[in-house]
């Protein structure tokens, strides 16, 4: 979790490389749907919301996640990036996961001051082919305008225009920020300050997740010991 542009996708990519988990980014799915091929009316509508910077309706998001439920059963685990984003989505996810005998291990929330978020969004460039993410000053490609991985052209995302950025930040404050308390109350929240380089933030995230896992294992061992006594 975190505001638009805080670095969720960058961190999910790094975590994914380390954990080899399934990475499901709802934003990537909606952007992919906007490129070519026949779209259902609901998906067409979703792409319109995304371009304006507004949240896609919960029913469409949930339908799309359910179609990808195999991801939640991946042997290496899964990383949800940009989902859930409303209390309604979080409740649907919980109900669904309970039914499948699954549970979230943690919810990572990235925090950064507003001004730095806007600077990250305004400088972002994305490869039109492989979707790799760069930043003009913080994470520049080796050759300006070209992707290091596939040589593709680097473009400004449609919803990174100033008018869409404002709408996205407003949607975050109204609909997504309340999830911080929701997950705090569930005991799942891990807050990470998103300052520093992507690698530094990744190491902090990974250490915090490892510490949490060690504490959980110790707690389970303690409970099972008590049950036997
Ligand atoms: P989505 O793609 O999820 O967009 P977002 O949440 O706005 O997040 P971003 O992808 O813009 O940013 P990020 O936090 O991933 O940052 P990044 O790593 O790229 O969703 C897009 C749209 O789809 C939504 O607006 C909505 O319409 C729709 N949607 C998606 N999911 C939905 C849902 N569940 N419900 C309803 N609607 C939904 O980094 C940003 C920039 O900063 C990059 O240039 C990067 O190189 C740079 N950077 C990263 N880390 C650092 C660092 N440590 N230092 C300096 N620069 C850095």
Closest residue by Cα to atom 7, ligand 1, is 4
Q: How far is CA 36 from CA 129, 154, 187, in A?
A: 13, 19, 42
Percent of the chain clearing pLDDT 70 (strictly above): 98
pLDDT, tens digit, for every residue of 66-112? 989 999 999 889 999 999 999 999 999 999 999 999 999 999 999 99
32 SS3 class: helix
pLDDT, tens digit, for every residue of 197-209? 999 999 999 999 9
Mean pLDDT over residues 37-42, rounded?
A: 79
Q: Are 164 and 51 in contact (CB under 8 A)?
A: yes
Q: What is the atom index within ligand 1 of the atom nearest the CA of 53?
A: 25
Closest residue by Cα to atom 42, ligand 1, is 120
CA 154, CA 48: separation in Å to the nearest integer? 22
Pocket test for ligand 1, best of 3, 4, 88 (most atoms within 8 A of CB): 4
Q: Does the CB atom of residue 120 touch ligand 1 within 6 A?
A: yes
pLDDT, tens digit, for every residue of 101-122? 999 999 999 999 988 999 999 9
Q: Are 33 and 208 in contact (CB under 8 A)?
A: no
Residues that are catalytic: 8, 85, 124, 157, 168
Q: Are 31 and 50 in contact (CB under 8 A)?
A: yes
Closest residue by Cα to atom 34, ligand 1, is 83
Q: At what angle do helices 26-33 and 41-52 cross, to 10 degrees?
A: 110
Q: Does the CB atom of residue 82 touch ligand 1 within 6 A?
A: yes
Pocket test for ligand 1, best of 1, 2, 6, 9 (most atoms within 8 A of CB): 9
pTM of the model: 0.90
pLDDT, tens digit, for every residue of 138-157? 899 999 999 999 999 999 99
* Residue 45 scores a pLDDT above 80: yes
* Residue 34 scores a pLDDT above 70: no
Cα 120 to ligand 1 centroid, rounded to whole Å:
10
């Amino acid at each position: 979790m975190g505001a638009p542009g805080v670095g969720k996708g960058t961190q999910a990519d790094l975590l994914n490389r380390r954990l080899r988990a399934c990475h499901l980014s709802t934003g990537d799915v909606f952007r992919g749907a906007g490129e070519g091929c026949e779209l259902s009316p609901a998906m067409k509508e979703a792409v319109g919301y995304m371009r304006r910077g507004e949240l896609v309706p919960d029913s469409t998001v949930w339908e799309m996640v359910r179609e990808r439920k195999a991801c939640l059963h991946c042997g290496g685990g899964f990383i949800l990036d940009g989902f859930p984003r409303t209390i309604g989505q979080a409740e649907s996810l919980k109900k669904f996961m309970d039914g499948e005998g699954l549970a979230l291990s943690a919810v990572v929330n990235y925090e950064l001051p507003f001004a730095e978020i806007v600077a990250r969004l305004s400088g972002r460039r994305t490869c039109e082919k492989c979707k790799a993410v760069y930043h003009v000053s913080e994470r520049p490609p080796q050759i300006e305008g070209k992707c290091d991985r596939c040589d593709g052209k680097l473009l400004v995302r449609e919803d990174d225009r100033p008018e869409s950025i404002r709408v996205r930040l407003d949607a975050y404050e109204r609909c997504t920020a309340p999830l911080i308390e929701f997950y705090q109350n569930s005991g799942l929240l891990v807050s990470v300050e998103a300052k520093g380089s992507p690698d530094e933030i990744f190491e902090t995230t990974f250490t915090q997740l490892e510490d949490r896992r060690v504490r959980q294992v110790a707690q389970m061992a303690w409970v099972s010991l008590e049950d036997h006594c």
